[in-house]
């Protein structure tokens, strides 16, 4: 088997570069969800965050960022749970999920800073 390490390092760098863009998108979706005027807007923005978190959770672990990947998966599952609830669900419950996503965004920023 060939050495996978040099190639993996390049992929890791690209992941971190993309992570910067992805965490900004998630932060934006989170803000729009908090300020949403309708359930449609909530669903659209939560779905947007879910899709990005899904991508992060699928790759972070393979690149040595298992903790971040696991956090992304937990946030993704929490959003899926929220989206499956009937309209008019507890706002407090949704706010807890949004708080967790804010925490995830912060972890992304810390990880990026640590690798600069």
Partner 1 sequence: MQILAVDDDPIILELLKQFIDAIGNHDVTTAESGLEALDVIEAHDPDHFECFLLDIQMPGMDGIELTRQIRGLEQHADTPVLMLTAMTDKRYIDAAFAAGATDYITKPFEVAELTARITLVEGLVQARNSRTKKIFATQSMPEVGNSVAIFEPFSIYDVDNVIDYMAMENYVTQLSRNALFGSTTFAFTIREVQEFHDVMTSFEFYSMVSDIAEVISDTLSGKQYLMSYAGSGTFVCVTESGWRPAVSQLMDAINLSLATTELYDNNGARLQPRVSVGESVRLIWKASTSVLEALGVAHSSAEAAADAHIKAKKNLWTLTEGQTA
Who's near 57: CB < 8 A, 6+ residues apart? 69, 70, 72, 73, 76
Q: Dig out the tokens for 30 from the structure.
A: 């989170």
Who's near 9: CB < 8 A, 6+ residues apart? none
| Near partner 1 by CB under 8 A: residue from 27, 69, 97, 101 | 69
44 binds partner 1 (CB under 8 A): no
| Near partner 1 by CB under 8 A: residue from 24, 39, 41, 58 | 58
Instruction: Report in angstroms how near the CB of residue 74 gets to partner 1 at its nearest.
Output: 12
11 binds partner 1 (CB under 8 A): yes
CB distance 78 to 98 below 8 Å = no
Other beta carbons within 10 Å of 14: 11
13 binds partner 1 (CB under 8 A): no
2 binds partner 1 (CB under 8 A): yes
84 binds partner 1 (CB under 8 A): no
Three-state SS at 88: coil
**Interacting residues with partner 1 (CB under 8 A):** 1-4, 7-8, 10-11, 14-15, 18, 51, 54-55, 57-63, 66, 69, 73
């Amino acid at each position: 088997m060939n050495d996978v390490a040099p190639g993996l390092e390049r992929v890791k760098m690209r992941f971190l570069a993309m992570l910067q863009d992805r965490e900004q998108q998630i932060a934006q979706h989170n803000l729009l969800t908090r300020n949403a005027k309708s359930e449609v807007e909530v669903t659209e923005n939560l779905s947007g965050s879910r899709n990005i978190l899904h991508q992060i959770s699928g790759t972070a672990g393979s690149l040595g960022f298992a903790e971040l990947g696991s956090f992304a998966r937990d946030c993704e599952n929490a959003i899926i749970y929220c989206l499956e609830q009937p309209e008019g669900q507890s706002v407090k419950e949704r706010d807890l999920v949004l708080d967790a996503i804010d925490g995830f965004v912060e972890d992304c920023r810390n990880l990026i800073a640590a690798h600069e």
